[in-house]
Amino acid sequence: MEIKNVRKLIIIGSGPAGYTAAIYAARGNLNPLVLTGSELGGQLTTTIEVENFPGFPEGMKGPALMINMQKQAERFGAEIKFETVTKVDFNASPKKIWVNDIEYQTQAVIIATGARSRTLELPREKELWGRGVHTCATCDGFFYKGKTVAVIGGGDSAMEESGFLANLADKVYIIHRKESFRASKIMQERTLNNKKIEVLWNSEVTAYRGEQKLNGLKIKNIKTGEEKELAIDAVFFAIGHLPNTEVFKNEITLDDKAGFIVAKDTVYTNVAGVFAAGDCVDFTYRQAITAAGFGCMAEIAAERWLQTHNI
C-alpha cells in the first residue's frame, strides 16, 4: 500500500465541473490533484458540436473544449492523474481516497464525477453491447455508414445523435415513447426536416433481435398495443443519464431515486469538507455551462472551508 502526502484539495472527475474547480483551486494556490476517472474529459468528449457554451460563436467540438479546460487547469499547476477512485473514507481526518492500492489523503474533496448513459436493460443487452447496441453515435456511428439505425429518446441528445447518424446512415428511425419531443425547438425542427429521419411516436422497444449482432428490434405501440418488427443494424440510446456516485454510497447522502448527491446550498454534501458539483448532483439543468458554474461554486466553498479551518 502506497500512502501519498496529505493534500489540501482533491477533485474527483474531469468534466466541466471538475476542471473549472481545478482552474479556480490552482489559481488559489491549493495545488489541487484531479483524479479524472475512466472517461477523461467526461460526457462532452462524446458530444459532437457544442453550440451553447458562451465564448465560441462558431461552436466548438466537445473533445476540444475539454482538452482546453484541462490545459487551462494545468497551466496554473493543477496535477491531473488518469485514475479512477475505487474507495473513499470521508469520516477519517484527513479524508482518504483510494485508487486500488494507492491511498491519497486530503483535507477537502470536490466530487464532480458526472453521470452516464441510461440503458433499457432488456434481455441480451450486455451480449449485444458494441455489436449493434450503443450509447454514443460520435464514437460508433461510423461503423454504420450506409446502414439503417435507430435512436431511442426524445430529448436534445436524441436529436443530436439522429442528426449525426443521418450524415452516415441511409435511414434513421427515432423511437420515442410519447407523441411529442421534449428537445429544444431548434433541434426538433432540424430533426423533423431531415428527410432521412423517421419518427416512430408512442413506441417502445420490447426485444432485441439477432444472434451474434443486432439485426432488428421488436417494437410496441403503447397507444394501440400493436407490435411490429423493425429491421435495423444498430440502436443508439439517448434516454438520459445516471449519476456516477456508487463509490460514495456509504459516505455521503444520495437520493433514493437514482443516486444523485443530495447537496445543500447547491454544493455542500452532508459531510463537512466534502463538496459536490455538476451532473452527479444536478438532474435538472445538466448543461456544460451549469456544471462549470457549479464547479466554480464548489471550489469557492471548499477554499472558504479550508480557510475557516486554518488549513
Cell 481526518 identifies what position?
93
Q: Is 296 a catalytic residue?
A: no
What is the total count of residues that contact ligand NDP (CB under 6 A)? 18
**Separation of alpha carbons 231 and 228, rounded Å:** 10
User: Of 140, 156, 233, 279, which one is the catalytic site residue?
Assistant: 140
Q: Residue 151, interface with ligand NDP (CB under 6 A)?
A: no
Q: What are phi and psi of 109, to 5 degrees?
A: -135, 140
Report which of 296, 246, 241 is spatially closest to residue 267, judged by C-alpha positions.
Answer: 296
| Residue sitting closest to ligand NDP (CB) | 155
Nearer to ligand NDP, 4 or 177 (CB): 177
Q: Is 101 a catalytic residue?
A: no
Q: Residue 77, interface with ligand NDP (CB under 6 A)?
A: no
Q: What are phi and psi of 293, to 5 degrees?
A: -60, -45
Among 3, 6, 29, 52, which residue sits at the site for ligand NDP (rule: CB under 6 A)? 52
Question: Residues 86-125: x/- map of binding to ligand NDP (CB under 6 A)?
Answer: --------------------------------x-x-----
Question: Residues 280-309: x/- map of binding to ligand NDP (CB under 6 A)?
Answer: ------x-----------------------
Question: Residues 234-273: x/- map of binding to ligand NDP (CB under 6 A)?
Answer: ----xxx---------------------------------
Q: Are 236 and 161 in contact (CB under 8 A)?
A: yes
Q: Are strands 234-237 and 133-134 parallel, antiparallel or unpaired?
A: parallel
Q: Residue 178, interface with ligand NDP (CB under 6 A)?
A: yes
Residue ranges in 187-226 that form contacts with ligand NDP under rule CB under 6 A: none
**Separation of alpha carbons 303 and 305, rounded Å:** 5
The residues near 305 (Cβ < 8 Å, ≥ 6 apart) are: 108, 272, 273, 275
Nearer to ligand NDP, 96 or 190 (CB): 190
Query: In angstroms, what is the minimal distance from the CB of 65 to ligand NDP?
Result: 12
Sign of the CA dihedral 252, 255, 24, 62?
positive
Q: Residue 83, interface with ligand NDP (CB under 6 A)?
A: no
**Separation of alpha carbons 69 and 117, rounded Å:** 23
Q: Residue 39, interface with ligand NDP (CB under 6 A)?
A: no
Query: In angstroms, what is the minimal distance from the CB of 154 to ligand NDP?
Result: 3
Q: Which among 133-141, 154-162, 208-216, 263-271 is the span making contact with ligand NDP, rule CB under 6 A?
A: 154-162
Q: Residue 16, interface with ligand NDP (CB under 6 A)?
A: no
Instruction: Enumerate the β-bridge partners of residue 111.
Output: 12, 276
Give the number of other CB atoms < 10 A from CB of residue 197: 20
Give the number of other CB atoms < 10 A from CB of residue 85: 22
- DSSP string for residues in 107-138: EEEEE---EEE-----TTTTTTBTTTEES-HH
Q: Residue 155, interface with ligand NDP (CB under 6 A)?
A: yes
Q: Which residues form the interface with ligand NDP (CB under 6 A)? A: 52, 118, 120, 152-158, 160, 177-178, 182, 238-240, 286
Q: Which residues are catalytic?
A: 136, 139-140
